[in-house]
Chains A and B, each alone.
Chain A
Amino acid sequence: MYPRAFHYHRATSLSEAVSMLTDLGEEARLLAGGQSLIPLMKLRLASPAHLVDLNFIPGLEYVREQGNELRVGALTRHAQIEESAEAARVPIVHDCASGIADIQVRNRGTLGGSLAEADPTGDWAPVLLVLGTEVVCQGPDGERTVKLEDFLVDAFVTTLAPNELVKEVRITQPPKKSGGAYIAAKRSAPVYASASVAVQLAMEDSSVCREAGIALGAVGLTAIRAREAEKVLNGKSVDSRAIEEAAEAAMRAADPQSDMRGSAEYKRVLVRALVKRALEAALRRSRGEPVEVSHLYA
């Protein structure tokens, strides 16, 4: 399957990419890792007249610790994050990076591309929402920094202007005595998640939670912050009853569609199960226990 013909433009710097986008107008699309865009073009669900290839721009692939932030260049591949020692210190980030699709896709797909695409089933949004994340965007007038919750507007819609692009992602490192976990349930490695859950707990001590972050993926038009479920845990002891209640509340926050990945009812039940599992893993990690968490294949 060949995509429709398009004009290819190779950017060698971010500012060149921005001016290409400005000159070409709305018929242009950015090509980062291409793991979503190229399949869409092959199916002719997308037929951009112009592609601006970002892959030859140097210096946008990095994971760095700066202050209390993890700064990740927009063109950093999921596999590079998976391999990064800096990212491994935030276990939920490693959970996510190491489980996206399969190794071939992780070797190409980029963090910036994934966030800019804003696919409701994307893995990064729920994870980065519970950590506190800012997106650095570059446009013709320079840079602006926007909180991830403001950056994501709707399914496949962000606040990016047509001539803006993602330059860097800044992830707030969780405080000490924190634990997080991300679990996506999929039918097999290469497919999108049926539902996913990100949990991050900042603890007072080994059992009382100071602040909980819970976000759900693939069960709404964007990642959903399960605020009621968080309230169940904030300031409380995270015991089995609280976990049960939080999972019930998260299930009510989910707004899934029935599709080939399962019925809406199934996905709600799946969310409940995933929240329980992720909370238990996050709690153990907050106590310093090494817990391996990975994506689940049905």
Chain B
Amino acid sequence: MPDQVQMVPITVTVNGQRHSLSVEPRMLLVSFLREALGLTGTHIGCDTTYCGACTVLLNGRSVKSCTVFAVQADQGEVRTVEGLAGESSLHPIQQAFLENHGLQCGYCTPGFLMSAVQLLEKNKDPDEKAIRKGIAGNTCRCTGYQNIFKAVRAAAASMRGR
């Protein structure tokens, strides 16, 4: 066990904004976002790399932010659910979740939105199988996935139409 607390300076760009802070190495990325930056849209669900509620994009790839140390995001770019909506409009994925009743309690929703962003950035026209695979790392205990699936499909169509 270390005798004194080590603090590591890191610089992370979150939703386009640069933040330079010193963190303890054991601080998880999800805690960094929530506690150090006050971005509480990213949720902690299971905390065991299972449920995906904490999903964010790190350097363009979705990760479970409860299973990444904040020091590992140094010099990196993070995108969270707070970075999705524009000034006056929702992101098409958010709009599609709203219209298709893709959320009930909404706790898991930020993670689903970020997984959907990852999926649709890689595959503009995913078939049913690809959508189910794309959201397989996220767990919802309310909707049973059918409406989430519909929302992702609708978002894909709406994003292709733009």
What is A's interface to B at a CB cutoff of 8 Å? 1-8, 10, 31, 34-35, 38-39, 41-43, 47, 49, 51, 53, 55, 77, 79, 101-105, 107-108, 188-191, 294, 297
Contacts and interface: CB of A to CB of B under 8 A. Distances in A.
> Nearest 10 pairs between A and B by C-beta?
A102-B137, A8-B25, A189-B136, A107-B61, A104-B137, A104-B64, A38-B67, A190-B50, A3-B26, A104-B62
Interface bracket on B: 35 or more
A104 B25 contact: no
B24 to A, nearest CB: 7
A251 to B, nearest CB: 28
Contacts of B25: 5-8, 51
Interface string B6-44: 101000000000000000111110010000000000000
A43 B68 CA distance: 15
Contact of A190 (B27, B28, B31, B137): B137
B88 interface: no
Interface of B: 1-2, 5-6, 8, 24-28, 31, 47-52, 55, 61-64, 66-69, 71-72, 115, 118-119, 133-134, 136-138
B68 A34 contact: yes
30 contacts: A1-B47, A2-B26, A2-B27, A2-B28, A4-B1, A5-B6, A5-B26, A6-B2, A6-B25, A6-B26, A10-B71, A31-B69, A34-B67, A34-B69, A39-B48, A41-B26, A47-B1, A49-B1, A102-B52, A102-B138, A103-B62, A103-B119, A103-B133, A103-B136, A104-B63, A105-B67, A108-B64, A189-B136, A190-B137, A191-B50
Contact of B55 (A35, A79, A104): A104
Nearest to A27: B1
Given A107-B61, A107-B62, A8 B134 contact: no
